[in-house]
A = this chain, B = another copy of it.
Amino acid sequence: MKCDYTLYLVTDREILKGRDLLQAVEEALAGGVTLVQLREKDASSREFYELAVSMKNLTAGYGVPLIINDRLDIALAVQADGLHIGQEDLPLPVVRKLMGPDKIIGYSVSNVEEARYGEKHGADYLGAGPVFTTATKKVSTPTLGPAGLKRIKETVSIPVVGIGGINLENLKEVRRTGVDGVSIVSGILGSDRPGHTALSIRREWDNG
């Protein structure tokens, strides 16, 4: 499946502080988000499933693919366009086999070795990070910085998106690494006007 990785929104309900997730994502879609990843860490399987059904309807209306984080069962149940996994999730070869050849598989990497592994075992794209420090995810992994991100991008031939602490201020720096897009959590959903913020990021990227 062909996919535009330019502006990849990753969800986080906590950061919304009670605002409605579907509404915030819809605003971001209207602002120019090209890909959505639904990430739920504490929901029951039923809650995750029901939210994913609603999200699929929403993203489909914008012609934007929906990727599910971690949970292959939810991805299969809602016939999502793909699955994004990290180092703590199901093994990549198992995921590729169960999802079939046509679904988008994303893989989180934080160094060149993991990037090579991802490309070799069937990932369609890599989410590389954290590029900068971020409050969204508590990670002990050292930040890549633009230089580390560039090194990963140059190591593989599949698309790479940067993730972690990316915002309007550092976007140009990220773009210059040659990556295919940026994955943004708090930079969009943490904003009071997700649509406006997404649009500003798109313009900054497109004018890069």
A interface residues, Cβ below 8 angstroms from B: 44-47, 49, 70-74, 76-77, 85, 87-91, 94, 98
**Quick check: B87 and A46 within 8 Å, CB to CB?**
yes
Instruction: Give the oligomeric copy count.
Output: 2
Q: How far is A85 from B73 in the complex, measured between Cα atoms in Å? A: 13
Q: How far is the CB of A53 from chain B (nearest CB, A)?
A: 10
Q: Which of B44, B47, B49, B72 contacts A73 (CB 8 A)?
A: B72
**Quick check: A49 and B91 within 8 Å, CB to CB?**
yes
**Quick check: A76 and B98 within 8 Å, CB to CB?**
yes
Among A45, A76, A91, A94, the most chain B Cβ lie within 10 Å of the Cβ of A45
Q: How far is A59 from B85 in the complex, measured between Cα atoms in Å? A: 28
Q: How far is the CB of A72 from chain B (nearest CB, A)?
A: 4
Q: How far is the CB of A97 from chain B (nearest CB, A)?
A: 9
**Quick check: A71 and B46 within 8 Å, CB to CB?**
no
Q: How far is A70 from B89 in the complex, measured between Cα atoms in Å? A: 16
Q: How far is the CB of A199 from chain B (nearest CB, A)?
A: 35
Q: Which of B49, B77, B89, B98 contacts A45 (CB 8 A)?
A: B89
**Quick check: A44 and B88 within 8 Å, CB to CB?**
yes
Q: Which of B49, B70, B89, B94 contacts A90 (CB 8 A)?
A: B49
Q: Which residue of B lies closest to A95 (CB)?
A: B77
Q: How far is A16 from B87 in the complex, measured between Cα atoms in Å? A: 27
Residues of B within 8 A of A76 (CB): 72-73, 98
Q: How far is the CB of A170 from chain B (nearest CB, A)?
A: 30
Q: How far is the CB of A76 from chain B (nearest CB, A)?
A: 6
Residues of B within 8 A of A46 (CB): 87-91
Q: How far is the CB of A95 from chain B (nearest CB, A)?
A: 8
Q: How far is the CB of A45 from chain B (nearest CB, A)?
A: 4
Q: List 10 A-B contacts (CB under 8 A).
A: A44-B89, A45-B71, A45-B85, A46-B90, A49-B90, A72-B73, A72-B77, A73-B90, A76-B98, A77-B94
